[in-house]
Amino acid sequence: MKLARRGFIQGMGALGAAAGVSLDAVAQAVKAAKPAIKGKVSRTPLEVKHIKSGCAICPNFCGIDATLVNGVVRTIYPDAARAEFYNHGICPKGASGMFNTYDPYRLKKPLKRTNPNKGRNEDPGWVEVSWNEAFEMVAARMNKIKAEDPRKLLWQHGQGKYLTGENFAVAFTKAFGTPNMTHRTTTCEAARHVADELTVAGAGILPDLKHTKYLLNFGSSYFEGEQASRWMDWEAQQSIDKGLKIVVIEPRLSQNAAKADEWVPMRPGKDVAMLLAMAKLMIDAGTIDEPFLVEYTNSPELVGEDGLFIKDKDGKTHLVWDRLSNSAKPYVAGVKPALKGAYTVDGQPVRTAFQVFMDSIKDMTPAAAEEIADVPADTITRLAQTFAKEARIGEFIELEGQKLRYRPSVLYTFRGLSAKEHGVQGWRTGLILNMLVGNIDAVGGLRMDAPYDKPQYFDVSKCEYPPSRCDMAQSVYFPYANHHIAQQNLIVMQDPQSWGLPYVPEMQFFYGTNRPMSVPNSGMQFDGLSKTFNVVIDINMTELAWYADVVMPDKTYLESWHWASTRSTPEASHVAIRQAMVNPYNLEHDAFSIMQELMKRVGLADKFLDECNKAWGLKDVKFQPGKSYTQRETVEVMWADKAKKDFSYALEHAFIGKKRDLKSKYLGGVEAKFKGPGKPKIKLYADQLIETYYKAASIAQKNKLARVDIAKLKVAYSPLPTRAHAFPTPHLEAMDYPFYVITHKRMYRYQTGNTVNNVILNKALGKDVATNYVQINTATAQKMGIKNGDTVTIETRVGKINGEAQVVQGVRPDTIAVSYHYGQWSPGYSPDGHQGVALNEVLEHHPDIISGHNSFNDTKCKLYKA
Ligand SMILES: Nc1nc2c(c(=O)[nH]1)N[C@H]1C(S)=C(S)[C@@H](COP(=O)(O)OP(=O)(O)OC[C@H]3O[C@@H](n4cnc5c(=O)[nH]c(N)nc54)[C@H](O)[C@@H]3O)O[C@H]1N2
Ligand SMILES: Nc1nc2c(c(=O)[nH]1)N[C@H]1C(S)=C(S)[C@@H](COP(=O)(O)OP(=O)(O)OC[C@H]3O[C@@H](n4cnc5c(=O)[nH]c(N)nc54)[C@H](O)[C@@H]3O)O[C@H]1N2
Ligand code: SF4
Ligand SMILES: [Mo]
């Protein structure tokens, strides 16, 4: 690779240039950050300060307690006061988080590109510019677009959502008049959210771990990854001490699997087959919670032969089969719905939704599932039996004098079931298993955060065409992409007309994301970046920034003020702030001040503040027109409105926790929203999917949309999960590629380049942390003559990459596991960042056409010695 190192280094600031070895570089950075101590060492007492704040390196959002000595952050410990509400500890990334701030490789000055050609091997010809010049360049583009068509401007973010608070980005794009604001969720866990939304019209799940006795964990990696891990790891341990048994079902011996009672190494992507077999076993054995299915779910509703629910005379109300009158009736008081059965209504054959489900899985025996998922039929049977037995179907428990449903058995996942081409159907299958034992919002079961919060998710999708958004969210192409589609913008960008987009995007903002590197088939993403004027706001010279026209350095979470995200749990909810404690490089701006400044320069300052009020839902204390806000002042406004406590409390504690009472924990959710006659129902049968299939197919046919594959649409939009959902595209097509390849998080790294410059993580902890490996099963390696340390090639239908072999027992013989977080190529990272391999360069891209979610664990590959 040809790189004009010198010119580039100038743009990075002097410290980067001097940095041969990162440890030296950090020492220099710290020195530069402190006034030099001249002459004799002074004996004046050290100034020690403790500041409470929130970690924002990952979306666990732990409470932290930092110690500053003479203005330098020396230690970061967990905030002990938060243990009661959320995190008992913090992780190595958080404890060494100051090294992300004192990182000498950071961006320190705005940069502009002087070479118009964009590419991995193109030298951007960076030139440092003043903030004023950077703002002028960017505002000039924005003013042009504003006059022509504001939709041509796109804003995209990743972790940035949590760094500044997404609502500021919502306000920025709303005020400007563009629909194009895109978060990263479809590279993350969107499929899981959409599955929740289709099922309970609200998203957010956690196991009620305090009371759970049996946990089937399908790929929630809460010792290494997860988003509620600093609560889950502690809470699970407490429950293990009280008898909780954990079974981890995933292809790799994750740290969770290593600590579990049992590891079931299932073949990648085949979860649905195993889960459907378990469902069949439980139904056949009668170990299901029939009253729950009848009273809370749409299982008894009657389905016609077209797969749609039959309706009452009003054309809306669904019907059930009333066992008392032996006739089809709406489920109102006095009606006793049949759960199963086939009936005739107005001469038409109908079945209950539950009967349709039973019929659809009649061939999914444990033996059939064994063949697909490679889990012994006996194991599948035993897990189904234990899951049902431990659920104590029919039992109640008395807590604080309240009699509550008790189902201490739960099936949970994070990306294990969702980071797939059929991710929505994957987690829908998990939800159905939980419904079968009736554990939803029961003590020890699966807690829903806000069921029926957004009833619109029960509706048929609008299937928009022509699309209004460049990412195609909620369009005919991805009807239920309710969370934007992160990877799609850069694909559409390459040929917008072919998608029917009525405008051509011209400018993109990227904030706190390294989008192309975090998405499968990275190369395809980079191609989209050459078409637009790109502004990147980051703390590092990422690969994405390498394709920018203007780069703006941001402040880190230790340098800026924010109203902070938190992770609520089944036990508690919270509000929190983050506070600036240092500014070693004297940076001027952060995301909010950049947005505010740009809005001023395009004449939208007041509109922006007005949209901020709306986006944040401010009621009593609001942003005032005509005023300019510092970051700290924005936090003061929000604190005053939302926390209703003096700001001195925020400065001292940074946090207010609120424990949930029993009623809000168990009785405010599905119990209040769905139970009994006349209420909406949890959708075991997602009828809105099949209605959407008919609608999308007809729009596609009418408009001759070559990009809609109607046969695939039909498979994806099934109202019930089926065997087909265990066969993502590469499993059907890449027949000559014998291995499955999967990816996962590691404790010591965060996402792509975020932590690769942190010397503690990369130098102090040794080689195992400093790089990643191509993990191969011992038996496979032996057969192929591969030894530890050999360079091996992974070849997929996308391309080839080389990595270092690590021969292990903790992965299936037919599966190759490669972690995320390594193999950065941007010259802007420290040499440490370039170690290891970036799997996304060769993963196939097959988004879930329900949610837009990316497939990360579906690719097949060849493997050989390089
Ligand atoms: N192979 C594989 N790919 C994956 C995954 C996987 O497990 N395996 N995981 C997926 C998941 S779950 C997700 S969420 C996505 C993540 O995808 P992204 O959100 O794109 O994650 P990053 O690439 O780390 O981008 C975050 C960026 O924020 C920058 N940053 C950090 N702090 C600050 C700050 O204070 N201000 C600003 N402006 N920038 C900051 C970092 O330097 C980094 O460039 O990746 C997905 N991709
Ligand atoms: N240390 C660290 N922590 C993080 C992050 C990070 O980058 N680093 N990122 C944060 C973010 S944004 C997210 S979204 C979460 C993600 O948190 P998790 O979803 O908990 O973590 P992942 O490692 O992405 O995937 C979970 C597990 O799925 C398994 N898996 C792969 N294929 C299959 C399969 O076919 N079936 C099953 N059942 N399992 C499979 C993998 O082996 C992995 O252990 O982590 C968060 N926490
Ligand atoms: S788990 Fe995430 S939020 Fe918590 S300390 Fe670690 S990096 Fe920070
Ligand atoms: Mo994520």
The residue count of the chain comes to 866
* Residue 234 pLDDT exceeds 90: yes
Atom of ligand 3 nearest to the CA of 92: 6
pLDDT (0 to 100) of residue 15: 36
| Tokens coding 327 | 């006739």
What is the whole-number distance in angstroms between the Cα of residue 610 and the centre of ligand 4?
A: 31
What pLDDT sits at residue 41? 60
Give the number of the ligand closest to the Cα of residue 750.
2
CB of 249 sitting under 6 A from ligand 2 = yes
Domain 193-449+671-685+720-724 fold is Dimethylsulfoxide Reductase; domain 2 (3.40.228)
The structure's pTM equals 0.95
- Does residue 40 carry a pLDDT above 70? no
User: Is the CB–ligand 1 distance for residue 180 below 6 Å?
Assistant: no
| Mean pLDDT computed over every residue of the chain | 94
Amino acid type, 306: D
d(CA 730, CA 844): 8
Average pLDDT, stretch 397-404?
A: 96
Task: Identify which ligand lies nearest to the alpha carbon of 86.
Answer: 3
Q: Is ligand 1 within 6 A of the CB of residue 517? A: yes
Among 3.40.50.2000, 3.40.50.720, 3.40.50.12160, 2.40.40.20, what is the CATH number of 728-865? Answer: 2.40.40.20
| pLDDT score for 33 | 56
The ligand placed nearest to the CA atom of residue 169 is 1
Q: Are 291 and 746 in contact (CB under 8 A)?
A: no
State the Cα–Cα distance between residues 488 and 521, nearest whole angstrom: 12
Contacts for 648-651 with beta carbons within 8 Å, 24 or more apart? 650/577, 651/579
9 pLDDT higher than 50: no
- Predicted local confidence at residue 791, as pLDDT: 98
> Which of these, 858, 861, 847, lies nearest to 731 by C-alpha position?
858
850-862 mean pLDDT:
97
162 Cα–ligand 4 center, Å: 12
**Count of other CB atoms within 10 angstroms of residue 579:** 22
Q: pLDDT category, 81, cuts 50, 70, 90?
A: very high
Residue 197 CB less than 6 A away from ligand 1: no
Give the start-to-end residue ranges of the domains of the chain. Answer: 193-449+671-685+720-724, 728-865
**How far, in Å, is the centroid of ligand 4 from the Cα of 206?**
16
Take atom 13 of ligand 2 and give the residue whose Cα is closest.
Answer: 226
Tell me the best of 189, 220, 250, 839 to mutate to test the pocket of ligand 2, counting ligand atoms within 8 Å of each CB and taking the most: 250
Residue nearest to atom 3 of ligand 2 (CA): 225
Q: What is the pLDDT of residue 30?
A: 55
CB 331 within 8 A of CB 320: yes
With a 6 Å cutoff on the Cβ, whether 542 touches ligand 1 is yes
Residue 37, pLDDT score: 52
**Tokens of residue 396, six digits:** 């109640």
What is the pLDDT, as a whole number, of residue 45?
A: 80
Q: What is the mean pLDDT of residues 30-53?
A: 72
- Token pair of 263 as six digits: 């590891």
Q: Is the CB of 271 under 6 A from ligand 2?
A: yes
Predicted confidence band at 32 (pLDDT cuts at 50, 70, 90)? low
Shortest CA distance to 682 belongs to which of 692, 672, 693?
Answer: 672
> What tokens does 587 get?
């940076």
CA 837, 838, 841, 843 dihedral sign is positive
pLDDT, one tens digit per residue, over 378-391 is: 999 999 999 999 99
The CA distance from 589 to 555, in Å, is 7
Mean pLDDT of 456-474: 97
Q: What is the pLDDT of residues 289-308, one digit of tens each?
A: 999 999 999 999 999 999 99
The rounded Å distance from CA 57 to ligand 1 centre is 10
Q: Quick one: which atom of ligand 2 is closest to the CA of 252?
A: 42
CA of 58 from ligand 3 middle (Å) equals: 5
426 lines ligand 2 (CB under 6 A): no
φ/ψ of residue 305, rounded to 5: -70, -20
How does residue 44 score in pLDDT terms, banded at 50, 70 and 90? Answer: confident
Name the pLDDT band for 18 (thresholds 50, 70, 90).
very low
Give dist(CA 463, CA 700) in Å, integer: 10
